[in-house]
Amino acid sequence: MNYLAGEYDVIVVGAGHAGCEAALASARLGCKTMMITISLEHIALMPCNPAIGGPAKSNLVREIDALGGEMAKNIDRSFIQIKMLNTKKGPAVRALRAQADKTSYHLKMKRVIENTENLDVRQGIVEEVLKKEGKVRGVITDTGAKYFAQAVVITSGTYLRSKVLIGLNSVSSGPQGQMPANKLSENIEELGFKIFRFETTTPPRISKKYVDFNKMKIQPESKGKMQFSFFDRIDPYPEKQIPCWLTHTTEKTHDVIKKNLEKSLLISEEIKGAGPRYCPSIEDKVIRFPEKKKHQIFLEPEGWDAQEMYVQGLYTSMPEDVQWAMLKTIPGLENLKIIRPGYAIQYDCIDATQLNLTMEARHLEGIYFAGQVNGSSGYEEAAAQGIVAGINAALKIKGKESFILKRSDAYIGVLIDDLVTKGTREPYRMLTSRSEYRLLLRQDNADLRLTEKGYQAGLVQEDNYKKFAQKKEEIENGKKFLGSITVNPNKENLEKLEELGTAPVKSPTTLAQLLKRPEINHEDLKVFNYEIINYDREIIEQVQIQIKYEGYINKQLEQIEKFNKMENRKMPANINYLEIKGLSSEAREKLTNIKPHSLGQASRISGISPADISVLMIYLEQLRRKEKMK
Ligand SMILES: Cc1cc2nc3c(=O)[nH]c(=O)nc-3n(C[C@H](O)[C@H](O)[C@H](O)COP(=O)(O)OP(=O)(O)OC[C@H]3O[C@@H](n4cnc5c(N)ncnc54)[C@H](O)[C@@H]3O)c2cc1C
């Protein structure tokens, strides 16, 4: 028997990485929000790798922070190790990556959620989404509790009709023994959403006590202080950090796998979901790269004093005894003890091309989807979708303009545009190569690109906005300063240039021009008794990058100008593409299904040809003239 348990503006289903960002955004924008999740003990659970960040993912984390989200602050409060990756490469691919204390990450996020105004959280399983006259009306839980709301954000992750597979066994279960969400999956299908079956795998966890670290290579943290958040300084900064360890599989490991391939449901193809191309199981790796004698394995601690160690690189769903036999062949793990076996999980996700760039469904008003349920993979990808869905649910209820990030604004814009315009047939993971403008969408300037937008949306707090505005000003001052100081080709300066190992100057040269030289960096300029006074490391980094890469950056800005010409040509939502002469039948079908937001988005739909785009441009021009005549 259902009973009315409450009324809210926004209901968020799920407390994973998408759910937390969506609920916090909606509540912080002043909407009465409720978050319902299967288990409160699993809020912000990290069911897979105990890490946040890495190439392209760190850009997402910093973009979420720049918009006023929580993930960056939460990992800064709970990391056990932090590293800057790709330091020898350009700023476009430099990436922060932090190992998290999983329990601390969960508890810290839970505290933030529980202490946020306008936000209630409860344990329960949502089984049905209520709708009335094409609009969402609320949800019903497994205990019959009915909650009304104007918007519902589904962030159900890897739980929809989830099945856990180990060897030839498969059980109906969510990650880490939690309940699956079977009924909600059926209901989402009844609501007219196309469903895909995806899968992903996680490696075993082993006990630290039985590891022989002498047979491995230590992977320590990076030197110097670093953090994800632009706003909340970590204070005090951790005095010590915990290392990871590097070892590798052996030919013996590969033999064990080859001898037991028929014992894996995934390999035996008995039941199949689309798996992650960039996190292949070790079975897949051994089959696909037979020539490789060894594969790297990283042992990652799961917490400050946790016994559990995550065996990164050994994703597997082999039977437990085979996992044990595989692990024993790895240098340092000869005497191991498994704490949790590796497993694969299959789950339902929706075809995200049924959503708008606001994450709202096109055919059912008021329902939003974010995270793994949209076919993405990764904590960061989920959180990025969550914050955009939460902002848009709140803005719509407040009758305000929707919040859309373009591919030229952010990796979040690339992520959402790829999912809703092109869709995905396997778990979608963010990569720097997915962006056309990666030199501009760097992790170091996410605040300069997005904080103004987060502030206009109402999510960035006043004090953080002030910090941001001051930083922007200091960067401009720093650039002007270096452009205003000239080094003259006198004997003293030429000697200094020689000491720096750079070419002499023939005419008066500004410090900014000198800084453009690859061999010169800001520190070196001090020899000319000029330095950027009292600016912190981040400011100097920005000044240096913006001066050194000015040429490339300007080129990308020109490309973006061209891109925005198409992106700013809005496609009216009520166009009947079936009537437009000259369009191919495939184009008519695809455009009718996806109802692109702009001409730019239309051009990215697979199957839409340049000829179709020309037809649309003429059609839009005719529409514009007709409007003008009215
Ligand atoms: C086995 C496994 C392996 C993985 N491997 C990788 C990997 O290799 N690389 C990678 O990047 N990522 C991997 N991940 C994925 C990563 O965990 C997810 O990308 C990330 O957690 C997705 O976040 P999310 O918020 O979308 O969903 P989740 O973190 O899955 O959270 C979903 C939330 O929804 C709740 N929920 C679901 N249904 C209901 C309902 N009906 N009612 C109420 N609450 C509900 C759950 O309780 C949970 O809180 C893996 C995950 C698993 C489980």
Distance 549 CA to ligand 1 centre (A): 38
Distance CA 588, CA 608 (A): 9
Burial 515-529 (b: 16+ CB within 10 A, else e): beeeebebebbebbe
pLDDT at 145: 95
- Report in angstroms the alpha-carbon separations of 59 from 336, 351, 424: 36, 25, 21
Question: Which numbered atom of ligand 1 lies nearest the CA of 17?
Answer: 25
Pocket test for ligand 1, best of 20, 34, 37, 41 (most atoms within 8 A of CB): 37
CA of 388 to the centre of ligand 1 (A): 18
Query: Degrees (nearest 5) of the Cα angle 139, 141, 147?
Result: 40
Cα-to-centroid distance, 450 and ligand 1 (Å): 27
Residue 531 is predicted with a pLDDT of 59
Using most ligand atoms within 8 A of CB, pick from 200, 285, 429 the residue to mutate for ligand 1.
200
Q: What is the mean pLDDT of the chain?
A: 94
Q: To test the ligand 1 pocket, which listed residue (21, 34, 38, 147) has its Cβ within 8 A of the most ligand atoms?
A: 38
Mutate to test the pocket of ligand 1, among 172, 198, 205, 372 (most ligand atoms within 8 A of CB): 372
* pLDDT cut 70: percent of the chain above it: 98
Asked whether 39 and 426 are in contact (CB, 8 A), the reply is no
The strand pairing partners of 128, in sequence order, are: 140
Is the model's pLDDT at 334 over the cut of 80? yes
Residue 64 has pLDDT above 90, yes or no: yes
Burial (Cβ within 10 Å: 0-12, 13-18, ≥19) of residue 554: exposed
Instruction: For residue 250, count CB atoms less than 10 angstroms from its CB and return exposed for 0-12, middle for 13-18, buried for 19 or more.
Output: middle
d(CA 17, CA 190): 26
The whole-number pLDDT of residue 5 equals 87
**Ligand 1 centroid to 15 CA: how many Å?**
9
Asked if residue 317 lies in contact with residue 165, where contact means CB atoms within 8 angstroms, the answer is yes
Q: Which H or E run contains 233?
A: none
**Whole-number Å distance between alpha carbons of 500 and 502:** 6
Rounded to 5 degrees, φ, ψ at 345 are: -130, 135
* Residue 8, pLDDT score: 98
- Residue written as token pair 């202490």: 115
Between the CA of 17 and the centroid of ligand 1 the distance, in Å, is: 8
Task: Say whether pLDDT at 168 is over 90.
Answer: no
Tokens of 112: 């933030």
Output the pLDDT for position 264: 77
202 Cα nearest atom in ligand 1: 3
pLDDT digits (tens, 9 = 90+) for 545-572: 999 999 999 999 999 998 898 888 999 8
Query: Exposed (0-12), middle (13-18) or buried (19+): which is 608, by Cβ within 10 Å?
Result: buried
Residue 272 scores a pLDDT above 80: no
pLDDT-based confidence at residue 188 (cuts at 50, 70, 90): very high
Distance in Å, CA 147 to ligand 1 centroid:
23
Question: Using CA positions, which residue lies closest to atom 6 of ligand 1?
Answer: 48
Q: What is the pLDDT of residue 3?
A: 85
Give the model's pLDDT for residue 627.
85
Per residue in 192-219, pLDDT (tens digit) is 999 999 999 999 999 999 999 999 999 9
Give the HSE-up count for residue 304: Cα atoms under 13 Å, Cβ half-sphere. 9
Which protein residue has the closest C-alpha to ligand 1 atom 47?
38
pLDDT at 271: 54
Considering only CA atoms, which of 196, 548, 559 is closest in space to residue 346?
196
HEC states along 329-395? Answer: CCCCCCCCCEEECCEEEEEEEECHHHECCCCEECCCECEEECCHHHCECCHHHHHHHHHHHHHHHHH
Mutate to test the pocket of ligand 1, among 155, 179, 431 (most ligand atoms within 8 A of CB): 155
Looking at residue 23, what is its pLDDT? 98
Q: What is the value of pTM for the model shown? A: 0.95
> Please, are residues 476 and 127 in contact by the beta-carbon 8 Å criterion?
no
Taking the CA of residue 37 as reference, the ligand 1 atom at the shortest distance is 44
Q: Where do the domains of the chain lie, and which CATH numbers do they carry?
A: 205-345 (2.40.30.260), 462-540 (1.10.10.1800), 568-629 (1.10.150.570)
Would the pLDDT of 270 be above 60?
no
Using CA atoms, how far apart are residues 59 and 446, in angstroms rounded to an integer? 7
Residue range 477-495, pLDDT digits in tens: 999 989 999 999 999 999 9
Residues with CB under 6 A from ligand 1: 13-19, 36-39, 42, 47-48, 125-126, 155-159, 175, 181, 184, 200-202, 276, 279, 345, 371-372, 377-379, 382, 429
Residue nearest to atom 13 of ligand 1 (CA): 378
Which atom number of ligand 1 is nearest to the Cα of residue 125? 42
**What is the maximum alpha-carbon separation in the chain?**
91
Nearest residue by C-alpha to atom 31 in ligand 1: 16
- 398 pLDDT exceeds 60? yes
- For residue 20, give the ligand 1 atom closest to its CA: 25
Give the Å distance between the CA of 320 and the centre of ligand 1: 23
Average pLDDT, stretch 604-617? 92
Residue-wise pLDDT tens digits, 231-252: 999 999 999 999 999 999 999 9
C-alpha to C-alpha distance for 213 and 572, rounded to whole angstroms: 62
Beta strands in 366-519 (DSSP E): 367-369, 486-487, 509-510
Q: How confident is the model at residue 184 (pLDDT cuts 50, 70, 90)?
A: very high
What pLDDT shows up at residue 268?
61
Task: For a ligand 1 pocket test, name from 34, 42, 129, 158 the mutation site with the most ligand atoms within 8 angstroms of its C-beta.
Answer: 158
- In this prediction, residue 50 carries a pLDDT of 96
- 174 Cα to the center of ligand 1, angstroms: 9
282 confidence band (pLDDT: 50, 70, 90): very high
Nearest Cα residue to 298 out of 356, 216, 396, 210: 216
pLDDT at 269 over 60: no
Do you find a cis peptide bond into 341, omega within 30 degrees of 0?
no
Q: What is the pLDDT of residues 86-101, one digit of tens each?
A: 998 999 999 999 999 9
pLDDT tens per residue, range 507-534: 999 999 999 999 999 888 888 866 555 6
pLDDT at 435: 96
> How far apart are the CA of 254 and the centre of ligand 1, in A?
30
- Tally the residues of the chain: 630
Could you tell me the pLDDT band of residue 584, with boundaries at 50, 70 and 90? very high
Q: Report the atom number in ligand 1 closest to the C-alpha of 160.
A: 38
Residue 74: per-residue pLDDT: 98
Average pLDDT over residues 386-404: 97
The pLDDT, as a whole number, for residue 556 is 93
Cα–chain center distance at 135: 29
- Best residue among 110, 127, 156 to mutate for probing ligand 1's pocket (most ligand atoms within 8 Å of CB) is 156
pLDDT tens column, 413-470: 999 999 999 999 999 999 999 999 999 999 999 999 999 999 999 999 999 999 999 9
Is the pLDDT assigned to residue 387 strictly greater than 60?
yes
Summarize the confidence of residues 293-313 as an average pLDDT.
Answer: 97
Q: How far is the CA of 141 from the centre of ligand 1 (A)?
A: 19
What is the Å distance from ligand 1's center to 48 Cα? Answer: 9
Task: Report the candidate in 130, 9, 23, 127 with the shortest Cα–Cα distance to residue 370.
Answer: 23
> Mean pLDDT, to the nearest integer, of 586-612?
91
pLDDT digits (tens, 9 = 90+) for 346-371: 999 999 999 999 999 999 999 999 99
- The Cα-based distances of 174 to 58, 207, 277, 438 in angstroms read 27, 23, 22, 36
Percent of the chain with pLDDT over 90: 86
pLDDT at 390 over 80: yes
